[in-house]
């Protein structure tokens, strides 16, 4: 059944699912990046009205009814919240998130993977007309951390956010100093100074991490169950850890990236998880899970190796939730995997209004 066009947002990026004659390989993984897109409302004359996101005070997501249950498309949801999304045909899973796959919705399953755990929803997501449909009843249980949803018989409304940064991510450096939002280095950081080059960072877990019995742990390229919990890890050369992170400069970003040995790509949290895993530190799967770990640190007392967490702004997000993670290098610099301001592992100066305004918290895992 083909549904009639309704007033609402235009879903400009369709999920390419495995259907006969669709032109998509059954093994192909399709990625959508909607973080920088603009939502255009329908006009009565059809698609492509002159109004753009800047003039819209709310987003309206049209509801479709299947078997008496109201749904919205995954595309509409991703675009309205300005989330990345990816369809994994092999696993029948639709991934959503900011700069990593915080949500995994499996078609036909009422258990949704969220960060390190699962949330049970009343009805499962479904496939119809080569599109992923998310039940309206799942919106608040899953996505209330982003915004408030107002549901009517025909649509779901999201109000315009008033908390977006004053400057873009690639905006100018902040020339003012002494403000509450400034980042400052801890003068007592034992690892302050320059880190070694990548040629001298091959020592990993075996050199710096020991398990509870005092035996050396083995080096790993991915975090393992035998890795030492972060709270107990004391003896790590942070300068070498940062140099190791820098050695992956230029590796491209991929939303929902599988483990690096398989994909040769990172998203934000798989990058930090991989680097810290090389030194025996087990981090959570997503940025939000990692933010729930470690020891809290003031932005005024940052040390090299701290993890910094940011929210990713969205036009229709009324709430701020962790969406990005980076490794602090000292001197207002981070090394991180991100689709912007460049694509891939990069070093970014965070002495800018965007980063100061989107910063949420810092956590310490190494000493």
Q: So which residues are the catalytic ones?
A: 268, 324, 336
20 Cβ contact list (under 8 Å, min separation 6):
none
**Strand duo 281-282 + 228-229: pairing:** parallel
Taking the C-alpha atoms of residue 246 and residue 39, their distance in angstroms, rounded to an integer, is: 36
183 Cβ contact list (under 8 Å, min separation 6):
299, 300, 302, 332, 350, 351, 356, 359
Taking the C-alpha atoms of residue 88 and residue 17, their distance in angstroms, rounded to an integer, is: 9
What's the count of helices (H) and strands (E) in the chain, helices before strands? 8, 21
- Residue 348 CA, distance from chain mean position: 17
DSSP reduced 3-state for 238:
helix
Q: Is 62 left (phi over 0), alpha (psi -120 to 50) or beta?
A: beta
Buried b (16+ CB within 10 A) or exposed e, 28-50: ebbebbbbebebbbbeeeeeeee
180 Cβ contact list (under 8 Å, min separation 6):
none
Q: Where are the alpha helices (DSSP H) in the chain?
A: 74-81, 139-143, 205-208, 238-246, 260-263, 268-277, 287-291, 353-358
90-93 CB contacts, 8 Å cutoff, 24+ apart: 90/27, 90/29
Burial class (CB in 10 A: 0-12, 13-18, 19+), 134: buried
Taking the C-alpha atoms of residue 240 and residue 246, their distance in angstroms, rounded to an integer, is: 10
Q: Which of 133, 149, 142 is nearest to 66 (CA)?
A: 133
């Amino acid at each position: 059944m083909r549904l009639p066009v309704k007033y609402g947002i235009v879903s400009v990026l369709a999920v390419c699912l495995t259907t006969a004659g669709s032109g998509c390989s059954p093994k192909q993984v399709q990625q959508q990046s909607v973080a920088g897109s603009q939502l255009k409302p329908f006009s009565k004359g059809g698609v492509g009205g002159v109004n753009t996101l800047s003039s819209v005070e709310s987003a309206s997501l049209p509801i479709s009814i299947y078997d008496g249950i109201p749904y919205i498309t995954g595309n509409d949801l991703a675009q309205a919240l300005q989330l990345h999304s990816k369809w994994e045909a092999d696993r029948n899973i639709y991934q959503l998130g900011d700069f990593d796959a915080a949500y995994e919705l499996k078609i036909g399953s009422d258990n949704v993977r969220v960060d390190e755990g699962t949330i049970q929803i009343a009805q499962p997501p479904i496939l119809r007309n080569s599109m992923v449909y998310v039940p309206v009843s799942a919106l608040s249980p899953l996505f209330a951390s982003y915004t408030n949803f107002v549901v009517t018989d025909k649509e779901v409304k999201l109000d315009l956010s008033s908390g977006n940064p004053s400057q873009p991510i690639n905006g100018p450096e902040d020339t003012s100093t002494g403000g509450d939002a400034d980042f400052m280095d801890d003068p007592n950081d034992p690892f302050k100074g320059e880190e070694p080059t990548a040629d001298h960072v091959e020592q990993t877990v075996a050199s710096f991490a020991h398990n509870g019995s005092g035996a050396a742990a083995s080096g790993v390229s991915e975090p393992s169950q035998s890795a030492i919990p972060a709270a107990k890890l004391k003896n790590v050369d942070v300068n070498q850890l940062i140099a190791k992170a820098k050695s992956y400069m230029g590796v491209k970003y991929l939303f929902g990236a599988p483990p690096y040995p398989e994909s040769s790509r990172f998203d934000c949290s798989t990058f930090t998880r991989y680097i810290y895993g090389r030194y025996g530190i087990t981090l959570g799967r997503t940025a939000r899970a990692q933010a729930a770990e470690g020891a809290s640190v003031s932005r005024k007392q940052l040390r090299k190796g701290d993890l910094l967490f940011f929210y990713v702004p969205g036009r229709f997000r009324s709430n701020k939730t962790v969406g990005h993670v980076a490794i602090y290098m000292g001197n207002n610099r981070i090394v991180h995997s991100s689709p912007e301001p460049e694509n891939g592992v990069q070093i970014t100066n965070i002495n800018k209004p965007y980063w100061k305004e989107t910063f949420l918290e810092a956590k310490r895992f190494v000493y």
